Structure 1
Amino acid sequence: MGRIKFGTDGWRAVIAEDFTFANLDRVTQATADYWKANAVAGTEQKVIVGYDRRFLSDQFGRRVAEIFAGNGYQVVLTSEPTPTPAVSFAVKDQKAIGGVMITASHNPPAFNGYKLKAFYGGPADPTTCSDVETFIDRNPVQALDLDSAVKQGRAVINNIRAAHYKAIKKLVNFKLISKSKLRFAHEALFGVGAGCFDELLAGTTCRVTTLNANHDPLFGGINPEPIARNYVRSAAYLKKHPHDICLVTDGDADRVGGMDGRGNYLSTHQLICLLLHHFVVNRKGRGRVVKALTTTSMVDKMCAAYNLPLVETGVGFKYICSEMLKGDVLLGAEESGGIGFPGHIPERDGILAGLMLLELLATEKTSITKLIANLEKQFGPHRYGRIDAHFPLEKRASLMDYCAKNPPSKLLKSPVVDVKAYDGVKFVAQDGSWLMLRGSGTEPILRIYAEARTDADAQKLLRAGVEITRKV
């Protein structure tokens, strides 16, 4: 049957190999048993179930709903492929004990996944995930077919997007965006974000062009991840048809990426820094800033300049979520483009992040490239690179141990002043450049990250990271 193990964000596996209906039954029954044994005051025995556009996601979602219904839960199943943040919002809004989202987010099309959402409307914490694993195979699977569950009133099939749209509209200056006459594109990467901005901004002066919006379980031959190599087609379109900005959402629309209006790549790090600038300078916000340790050090410099407390976490939004639950967080962000906002659920939300970027442009009435240039003038250039390399799983622990015990004395002629080894290993130099090696929590690959003042230097650091892997 195979071992089911939760990674950085849920359980993911290749469809028909480990991600099968039989294994889905096991993990869903375990989740039902866990929530029965761990009731949460103030919640109902209700579960929200959503799914993305991947192969068989609708059928997997249906099966999850049947098992929760068979275990006595009230179930709300989405009526169509739905963004993850809409599912998370519905969990909190409807006082459900939790939710399940069938998605593998940015992974290759062969994968699917099972994201667990806690009662607070965010990713389940690592302890909960490991506890759910201990319930696997304790009890036989109980299921009630969906048609019967609906007839008996144990399940409803609903579109939950409207409540999410209403909530995020209140978090931005929607009137300002509506009058801005912004002309922007949305690269949906064939994911569930397709159509969201068209619906949100219908009847406003904004003009939306949605690219790659069709439902294609093969994602047009790419992985639905907001990185430059997946933007080739839309970048070519924007060169011929300029816009003010192009927003990008990943496969389940919980993360954001971007291009300027002419198809030039904007890194997730640049977008994070633009939003931090907007929250401090334009919105006059204060509070703690939380970032995953693979996120640009420009955030550190901005926090120092604005006198904001900075908290650094391991990789995975669940760690940022736990900080958001403590309160007083101005912004929570991770390298992959996941951003969490105050006054909302403790969850990354690519749709809300897109609206916030539109609010920034409507407020400053300046091009996105000028805004980035202004940030670099103030805090210096930061160039980032990442390599995803195949590396034997059985050697990963030895590699991390070797890195922690044998740090380089210098990075690009600058002395190494810090080594962080609580999630992968990160070497930080005196001049602010850094190199990090970390195994993916969801795929059998090793990620090598680097940041320096120039692209050439970032590439040099990445090559140095590859050399380190050859020593183990």
Structure 2
Amino acid sequence: METISFGTDGWRATLEEFTTPRVRMVGQAVATYLRDEGLEGTVAVGYDARETSRGVAEELARVLCANGFDVVMPDRDRPTPLYAHAIVDRDLVGGFAVTASHNPPEYNGVKFIPHDGAPALPEVTDAIADRLADPDPLPEADHGSVREADLVEPHADAALELVETITGATDLEGQVIAYDAMHGSGRDTTDALLERAGATVECLRCDRDPEFGGGAPEPAPENLAALIALVTDDGSEPALGIANDGDADRIAIVTPERGYLDENLFFAALYDYLLEDDSGPAIRTVSTTFLIDRIADAHGEAVREVPVGFKWVAEAMADGDALVGGEESGGFTVRGHVREKDGVLMAVLAAAMHAEESLDSRVDRLLEAHGTVVQDKISLACPDHEKTRVLADLEDEIPDAVAGTTVEDVNTADGFKLRLADGSWVLVRPSGTEPVLRVYAEASDADRIETLLEAGRELVEPLV
């Protein structure tokens, strides 16, 4: 039980720790939790493209059925956002996504999605953790059943309807989009949705490979070299490049002029686009750019800053009827959709935005109006059991100045975010999915970023 810990987005672990008995315990804990909450009915159980994921999903389904719940499963591995949508669309009591998202193939994970389709908050995951136990089946006569269901078309219908509501049309006729599935679950889903909207799609790594080509299905610039080369080639047809992570809840964008488009800049472009015909606040995490705040100010809107983790974004969106919510790692959702990040929906919305005005042009205008913003981050190895101690020690080491600039404010909502007098900032926080501490920085130019990240490293490394 001590090895099962629900972090930022569920329980993830290496396959040495992610064992069948422990998976069954999680299944039993969720079944007990649902029963204690008075929830009866059907649970969705989905999974990603990893070698072990289908088997894990089947184990969870068996435990749930043995506890009297019916289960719906997809025809094959599918994106996590489809399970969240299905829970709301079918009025299910909850669901599982078996996925380690962007982690390397030696990891797997499982996340529980409550009946509202939004990520589970700590009060839920704590209640589940308190109920971890070996399976306790009901008499066979009381067992539920498993059936296969189409989760793709209902999600696609909803996504296209929402994009049409936002943009006025979803016709991508004439648009050539390069799509990189990174061998993950977005294949035959994100590309199929783009094609249904009228785009011509050139696919990269749209075959299933449980080893993800020997790397991690993380849509970072260093992992998208082929997509970047294709889109930025002067003689190339694709007007835009899109990639998803392993379970397709996140999105990365590649443009002809910029190559990899920083997720912060895409967030800014998205919010600016939505504000053309709508209104409402934005929700962003502490690690996400202040450019969102500048755009909000220009439109008389507000921004709410929350800790890292889409569960906090989703909670704030519910509380404040926000127009958009997002994070610097490429997770976004918009008003009118399920409160879970959705890289499939965002692919079509990004393409529709780009068809009206190139994302490069929109970003250029935003930076000219609101100032240049550059952000980067580094990771420092730190065992999970040491993170609390390191942050406690860091509290006593917060300096009056960083890289020669006065610290004006310290935000402790998630780690330590040091806001500096020149408008830049440095954030130190623990990763919720890996044994590392993250150091983020934002400033007006790349050289300043390097200086701030190095200052952050020098502040934290002696404490690890």
- Provide TM-score, normalisation by structure 1: 0.92
Match for residue 101 of structure 2?
Answer: 105
Matched, 1:154 2:145: yes
Q: Say which SS state the counterpart of residue 419 (structure 2) adopts.
A: strand
Q: CA deviation at 1:52?
A: 0.3
Match for residue 244 of structure 1?
Answer: 239
Matched, 1:66 2:57: no
Match for residue 226 of structure 2?
Answer: 233
Match for residue 29 of structure 1?
Answer: 28
Name the amino acid aligned to 1:97: V
> Whole-Å Cα distance in 2 between the matches of residues 378 and 218 of structure 1?
44
> Whole-Å Cα distance in 2 between the matches of residues 228 and 136 of structure 1?
39
> Whole-Å Cα distance in 2 between the matches of residues 370 and 408 of structure 1?
40
Q: Say which SS state the counterpart of residue 339 (structure 2) adopts.
A: coil
- Structure 1 window deviating more from structure 2 (428-437 vs 262-271): it is 262-271
1:49 to 37, 45, 49: 45
Check 1:155–1:143 CA distance in 2 against 1; reply closer, same or farther (3 A cut): farther
2:71 to 72, 75, 84: 75
Match for residue 253 of structure 1?
Answer: 248
Q: CA deviation at 1:224?
A: 1.2
- 1:70-125 CA-partner distances (Å, limit 9, x unpaired): 11001101111011110001111111110000000011111100111010011111
> Whole-Å Cα distance in 2 between the matches of residues 213 and 426 of structure 1?
39
- Structure 1 window deviating more from structure 2 (259-268 vs 246-255): it is 259-268
Name the amino acid aligned to 1:278: Y
> Whole-Å Cα distance in 2 between the matches of residues 436 and 204 of structure 1?
40
**Within-5 A mapping of 1:397-412:** 397-412=388-403
Runs ≥4 residues deviating over 6 A:
none
Q: Aligned Cα RMSD in Å?
A: 2.1
Q: CA deviation at 1:21?
A: 0.8
Name the amino acid aligned to 1:10: G
Match for residue 471 of structure 1?
Answer: 462
Matched, 1:383 2:374: yes
Check 1:155–1:455 CA distance in 2 against 1; reply closer, same or farther (3 A cut): same
Aligned residues: 459
Match for residue 11 of structure 1?
Answer: 11
Match for residue 168 of structure 1?
Answer: 159
Check 1:107–1:438 CA distance in 2 against 1; reply closer, same or farther (3 A cut): same
1:189 to 182, 190, 213: 182
Q: Say which SS state the counterpart of residue 116 (structure 1) adopts.
A: strand
> Whole-Å Cα distance in 2 between the matches of residues 134 and 312 of structure 1?
30
- Structure 1 window deviating more from structure 2 (313-322 vs 173-182): it is 173-182
> Whole-Å Cα distance in 2 between the matches of residues 443 and 204 of structure 1?
37
1:269 to 258, 264, 271: 264
Q: Say which SS state the counterpart of residue 287 (structure 1) adopts.
A: coil
Name the amino acid aligned to 2:43: V
Q: CA deviation at 1:412?
A: 4.2
Check 1:183–1:169 CA distance in 2 against 1; reply closer, same or farther (3 A cut): same
Check 1:362–1:180 CA distance in 2 against 1; reply closer, same or farther (3 A cut): farther
Check 1:299–1:237 CA distance in 2 against 1; reply closer, same or farther (3 A cut): same
Q: Say which SS state the counterpart of residue 48 (structure 1) adopts.
A: strand
Name the amino acid aligned to 1:445: V
The question of whether the paired residues in 2 share the 8 Å contact of 1:339 and 1:350 is answered with yes
Check 1:69–1:395 CA distance in 2 against 1; reply closer, same or farther (3 A cut): closer
> Whole-Å Cα distance in 2 between the matches of residues 288 and 300 of structure 1?
10
Q: CA deviation at 1:255?
A: 0.8
Q: Say which SS state the counterpart of residue 340 (structure 1) adopts.
A: strand
Check 1:143–1:443 CA distance in 2 against 1; reply closer, same or farther (3 A cut): farther
Q: CA deviation at 1:420?
A: 1.0
2:82 to 73, 83, 86: 86
Match for residue 460 of structure 1?
Answer: 451
Matched, 1:125 2:124: no
> Whole-Å Cα distance in 1 between the matches of residues 129 and 191 of structure 2?
40
Check 1:301–1:428 CA distance in 2 against 1; reply closer, same or farther (3 A cut): same
Percent of residue pairs identical: 32
Q: Say which SS state the counterpart of residue 471 (structure 1) adopts.
A: helix
The question of whether the paired residues in 1 share the 8 Å contact of 2:353 and 2:359 is answered with no
1:177 to 164, 170, 173: 170
Q: CA deviation at 1:172?
A: 0.8
1:426 to 395, 417, 421: 417
Q: Say which SS state the counterpart of residue 397 (structure 1) adopts.
A: helix
- 1:262-285 CA-partner distances (Å, limit 9, x unpaired): 67111111111110011002xx21
Name the amino acid aligned to 1:468: L
Name the amino acid aligned to 2:188: G
Q: CA deviation at 1:434?
A: 0.7
Q: CA deviation at 1:310?
A: 1.1
The question of whether the paired residues in 2 share the 8 Å contact of 1:61 and 1:102 is answered with yes
- Structure 1 window deviating more from structure 2 (354-363 vs 85-94): it is 354-363
> Whole-Å Cα distance in 2 between the matches of residues 417 and 39 of structure 1?
49
Unaligned stretches of 5+ residues in structure 2: none
- 1:168-212 CA-partner distances (Å, limit 9, x unpaired): 111012773325421111121111111223322436542111211
Q: Say which SS state the counterpart of residue 278 (structure 2) adopts.
A: coil
The question of whether the paired residues in 2 share the 8 Å contact of 1:451 and 1:458 is answered with yes
> Whole-Å Cα distance in 2 between the matches of residues 415 and 153 of structure 1?
62
